[in-house]
Amino acid sequence: MSVNEVFYCSSLIHLFFVAIYPSSDSNGRIARLLEKWFLAEKLE
């Protein structure tokens, strides 16, 4: 997976999670956490 694909996928993870998570209070924080976790795993 190229670096561009990794960033594209992390953006999709963030957008999909925000779209489906029912709570509007903390969904941004959790989505950012998932995005950072994905980037850390893929860019090691």
CA distance 18 to 30: 9
- For 1-44, write each residue's pLDDT tens digit: 899 999 999 999 999 998 887 777 778 888 899 999 999 999 98
- Give the per-residue pLDDT at 36: 95
pLDDT at 22: 73
pLDDT for 5 equals 96
Instruction: Kindly report the pTM of this predicted structure.
Output: 0.79
How much of the chain is helix, strand and coil, in % rounded to 5? 75, 0, 25
pLDDT number for residue 21: 78
For residues 31 and 12, give the distance between their C-alpha atoms in angstroms, rounded to a whole number. 10
Q: DSSP state, 23?
A: -
Q: Which amino acid is at 13?
A: I
